[in-house]
Structure 1
Amino acid sequence: MTHADFDLVVRGRKIYAAAGTGAWEIGVRGGTVSAVVPLGTGLSGAREIELADDEVLLPGLVDTHVHVNEPGRTEWEGFASATRAAAAGGVTTIIDMPLNSIPPTVSVEALHAKQEAAAGQAFVDVGFWGGAVPGNTADLRPLHDAGVFGFKCFLVHSGVDEFPHLEPAEMEKDLAELASFDSLLIVHAEDPAVIEAAPEPSGRDYAGFLASRPPSAENNAIAQVIEAARRTRGRAHILHLSSAEALPMIAEAKRDGVRLTVETCPHYLTLLAEDIPDGATAFKCCPPIREDANREQLWQGLLDGTIDLIVSDHSPSTLDLKDLEAGNFGVAWGGVSSLQLGLSLIWTEAQRRGIGLEKVLEWMSHRPAELARLGRKGRIEVGADADFAVFASERTFVVDATRLHHKNPITPYAGKELSGIVQQTFLRGVEVSPAPNRDTEVPPTGRLLRRD
């Protein structure tokens, strides 16, 4: 082969390719993986990278649950800051939630506003979910045709008034509509009646907040989604599963052929209710972080396939909305910022359980890409987008909130030692690692994605 036959060549003794983890050379041409050959073949490229002995090459992560909030609440987060954080964490594709932006993505016009806001700012590829809210059933097919990846609904108050929740009957009606063109309904499943009957959260007591969102709220709502999916034969996806009590009914529904997938998040897999200090509102999210025994059951649900994937539910806000000084769980915004940290968080816990990096990548790269039907993402193989992360899996670091690329420096992981450092991130073969990973800032080259 002639010199510079490829734009980029990566060589390493441990590359997580679709053909198997091993010693490979990866050749990239025109943003696409064009060769996966044994190490020593001698590919040549305009840029050549030799991985260090303690570095591995991963497919870029795909995070299908990110709240970017722009336009309208850009002070909470924006496309530039969110996608820079994603790139720093080895995430090369995100799909943006239809709230908490203003307007929410519940019409084609609102989608265009979101796309216009994102254009020219994204450091990684960005797709968009549509929203299903009361009265917009007629907007679902036009949004689907405009390229959204599916539709999000809430069964409980969303936290923002401009994105109202669906009653179960309208959820089922929308799921039947989506089934007619094989789209996907992704559901925040909590039962408002259970929450209304639970104690009202207030003050600094985390146990009081936990009691205000009991597992039965999730269990009841998930049962409603399962039965609606069973009746309509629509595709349904349970967001941010927190209650391990729901796992048996989820497993049964899957065995019955219900078209159901389920995600959970790093905060439910790494944090424990028993360890959360009173007043520590950085830990507040809905549904809440539960106890140690619950966490271990979620890990088992991942291992046995009941839970399909892990995504961040990156749900940031300004510092004042987290009510850090008073620490009142009754008024603080519920959301965890973790987009940049997800890989290291999960890898740290996986190692303790003897779980290999292949499984982590299945949960955080391949299966999220499958959920969104992104056929060119989530794997290193010929024909896929050349989206990579160079990962030093044995190195450790301590989380410093002020050094994260999220817009607001708050995280429940501050001071936590984690394993695994993302050294470099590549989007279609071009390095997009933000400073301080590299000497100079890179331009935003991320694309706005449409449903395949």
Structure 2
Amino acid sequence: MFDLVVRSRRAITPEGQVAASVAVVGGTIVAIHPYDAELPAVNDVDLADTVLLPGLVDTHVHVNEPGRTEWEGFASATRAAAAGGVTTIIDMPLNSLPPTVDAAALRVKQAAATGQCHVDVGFWGGAIPGNAADLPALHAAGVFGFKSFLADSGVPEFPPVDAAQLGAAMRAVDALFVVHAEDPDHLHDAASSATYADFLSSRPADAEHAAVATAIEVARAAGRRVHILHLSSASALPLIAKAKAEGVRVTAETCPHYLTLDAGLIPDGATEFKCCPPIRDAANADLLWAALADGLITCVVSDHSPCTPELKRQDTGDFAAAWGGIASVQLGLPVIWTSAQARGFSLADVVSWMASRPADLAGLAGKGRIAVGADADLVAFDPDAEFVVDAHALHHKNPVTPYAGKTLRGVVRTTWLRGSPVTGAEKAGRFLTREN
């Protein structure tokens, strides 16, 4: 007797789209049978032609709790994630107070998150100037790796590192390092302006190009893995390709906003579009899509980085003064599917970018795939249904999003976490730690 059987004529598995019945016992997928197999189950759910996806894995989420919980919190962020088909998030070490830069701070964050999580949650640690000696213990406590900024992070308690400091951190612990790659020497002070082009010119593509080159060279010298976060500039892609060909263990991700939004169409004063690195033009986005297609960019993750409406300076529309961050953990799947389908990609491609490859990046073998032995994190997804984004109907804490009013394709009907539907009534998310 199975606890749960979920049937779909369109299940996305590692073998592609198949008609299947997924059998679950104790929160784990124990068997995959043909769609019409006779299987004894406590609960038998027939999705018919609704697609069955694995739960998405978002390795780039800023929850901000404790310390800046008015920006976001574990309860709201994880509820939004579940509503968007995301069953695993990995929280960034900032903008919480304290930042997750030592084992004691990790315990503080875990205490704040206890009992609040609708999905499973892991944690990144932070590598900042002077904390290299703290990294081995933080790694042993289970963080998935270490984030560093090469430019100002926007918060004073998480300062940037230079190349020498990043190298010292890498030599201190054999871990995955994830890097915000913008070079401060190529950034310019943004003048007060409500025009997006003025902000964009302050953070040119050259800043990313130079910082990616630095991160690669430091990783090469230290013999460590490095992952380039939220790549917005396609100009850095040849650097990554060349380094990979030379044996450097470098990977890269991008985000829905860099793939689908166009700098040339951002209205004056629309500070909900501000993020760092910035949204660039449509030709640049085309190159990012090409890099996804050929596997040079491996993951698409949200970089969910919300704040209060006041910090977005919606009253003045001043891009220079506004907080830089896009709130999108609930919308990533339909945003990407809307554009991916139009470009000829399949749902299997989307699952690879947003579920299995992010899970692989973090070493989570039991996440991001419909396979025997994996957690029964599942999503019923209607790829043909359309909806108009209402910011006030989203589950993240503050109703600010650049997708407000946009018509998107793809609706999440049900999300299961380890075989149980996520309804908001119970918070059954668990803490995840590094598996290897």
* TM bucket, shorter chain: over 0.9
Q: Secondary structure in 2 aligned to 1:262?
A: strand
Matched, 1:127 2:122: yes
The Cα of 1:284 is off from its aligned counterpart by 0.2
Which of 62, 74, 79 pairs up with 2:74?
Answer: 79
Q: How does 1:95-110 map to 2 (within 5 A)?
A: 95-110=90-105
Q: Deviations over 1:332-372 (max 9, x none)?
A: 00000000000000000001100001011000000000000
Whether the aligned pair in 1 keeps the contact of 2:8 and 2:48 (CA below 8 Å) is: yes
The Cα of 1:142 is off from its aligned counterpart by 0.1
Cα distance in 2 between the residues matched to 1:315 and 1:408: 11
Cα distance in 2 between the residues matched to 1:336 and 1:350: 20
TM-score between both structures, scaled by the size of structure 2: 0.99
Whether the aligned pair in 1 keeps the contact of 2:355 and 2:369 (CA below 8 Å) is: yes
Cα distance in 1 between the residues matched to 2:180 and 2:410: 31
Residue matched to 1:314: 304
Q: How does 1:192-231 map to 2 (within 5 A)?
A: 192-195=184-187, 198=188, 200-231=190-221
Q: Secondary structure in 1 aligned to 2:98?
A: coil
Cα distance in 2 between the residues matched to 1:250 and 1:215: 15
Cα distance in 2 between the residues matched to 1:294 and 1:19: 32
Cα distance in 1 between the residues matched to 2:15 and 2:289: 26
Q: Secondary structure in 2 aligned to 1:65?
A: strand
Matched, 1:237 2:227: yes
Whether the aligned pair in 2 keeps the contact of 1:153 and 1:165 (CA below 8 Å) is: yes
Cα distance in 1 between the residues matched to 2:16 and 2:255: 26
Deviates more, 1:294-303 or 1:199-208: 199-208
Whether the aligned pair in 1 keeps the contact of 2:75 and 2:117 (CA below 8 Å) is: yes
Q: Secondary structure in 2 aligned to 1:94?
A: strand
Q: How does 1:54-203 map to 2 (within 5 A)?
A: 55-178=50-173, 181=174, 183-195=175-187, 198=188, 200-203=190-193
Cα distance in 2 between the residues matched to 1:279 and 1:400: 20
Cα distance in 1 between the residues matched to 2:378 and 2:21: 13
Q: Aligned letter for 1:158?
A: S
Q: How does 1:287-436 map to 2 (within 5 A)?
A: 287-433=277-423
Cα distance in 2 between the residues matched to 1:449 and 1:400: 32
Q: Secondary structure in 1 aligned to 2:57?
A: strand
The Cα of 1:18 is off from its aligned counterpart by 2.2
Cα distance in 2 between the residues matched to 1:365 and 1:330: 34
Cα distance in 1 between the residues matched to 2:281 and 2:405: 21
Which of 22, 26, 33 pairs up with 1:26?
Answer: 22
The Cα of 1:167 is off from its aligned counterpart by 1.0
Whether the aligned pair in 2 keeps the contact of 1:199 and 1:211 (CA below 8 Å) is: no
The Cα of 1:390 is off from its aligned counterpart by 0.3
The Cα of 1:193 is off from its aligned counterpart by 0.9
Q: Secondary structure in 2 aligned to 1:63?
A: strand
The Cα of 1:177 is off from its aligned counterpart by 2.3
Whether the aligned pair in 1 keeps the contact of 2:16 and 2:348 (CA below 8 Å) is: no
Cα distance in 2 between the residues matched to 1:449 and 1:251: 31
Whether the aligned pair in 2 keeps the contact of 1:9 and 1:48 (CA below 8 Å) is: yes
Residue matched to 2:39: 43
Which of 4, 10, 26 pairs up with 1:8?
Answer: 4
Q: Secondary structure in 1 aligned to 2:186?
A: helix
Q: Aligned letter for 1:96?
A: D
Matched, 1:449 2:432: yes
Cα distance in 2 between the residues matched to 1:86 and 1:41: 32
- Aligned structure 1 segments of 4 or more residues deviating by more than 4 angstroms: none
Which of 236, 242, 261 pairs up with 1:252?
Answer: 242
Q: Aligned letter for 1:443?
A: E
The Cα of 1:275 is off from its aligned counterpart by 0.5
Whether the aligned pair in 2 keeps the contact of 1:19 and 1:381 (CA below 8 Å) is: no
CA RMSD of aligned residues (A): 0.8
Q: Deviations over 1:94-134 (max 9, x none)?
A: 00000000000001110000000001000000000000011
Q: Secondary structure in 2 aligned to 1:410?
A: coil
Whether the aligned pair in 1 keeps the contact of 2:22 and 2:33 (CA below 8 Å) is: yes
Deviates more, 1:21-30 or 1:169-178: 169-178
Q: Aligned in 2, Cα 1:73/1:199: closer, same or farther, shift over 3 Å?
A: closer
Question: Percent identity of the aligned residues?
Answer: 60
Whether the aligned pair in 1 keeps the contact of 2:81 and 2:329 (CA below 8 Å) is: yes
Q: Deviations over 1:269-320 (max 9, x none)?
A: 0100010001100000000000111010000111111111100000000000
Cα distance in 1 between the residues matched to 2:431 and 2:64: 16
Residue matched to 1:436: none
The Cα of 1:199 is off from its aligned counterpart by 5.2
Q: Which runs of 5+ in 2 are unaligned?
A: none
The Cα of 1:38 is off from its aligned counterpart by 1.1
Q: Which runs of 5+ in 1 are unaligned?
A: 434-440
Whether the aligned pair in 2 keeps the contact of 1:377 and 1:387 (CA below 8 Å) is: yes
The Cα of 1:149 is off from its aligned counterpart by 0.3
The Cα of 1:231 is off from its aligned counterpart by 1.3
Matched, 1:276 2:266: yes
Q: Secondary structure in 2 aligned to 1:46?
A: strand
Cα distance in 2 between the residues matched to 1:314 and 1:201: 26
Whether the aligned pair in 2 keeps the contact of 1:199 and 1:208 (CA below 8 Å) is: no
Q: Deviations over 1:181-226 (max 9, x none)?
A: 3x1010001000111xx35232101100000000000000000011
The Cα of 1:52 is off from its aligned counterpart by 3.5
Cα distance in 2 between the residues matched to 1:277 and 1:410: 15
Cα distance in 2 between the residues matched to 1:105 and 1:142: 12
Whether the aligned pair in 1 keeps the contact of 2:133 and 2:172 (CA below 8 Å) is: no
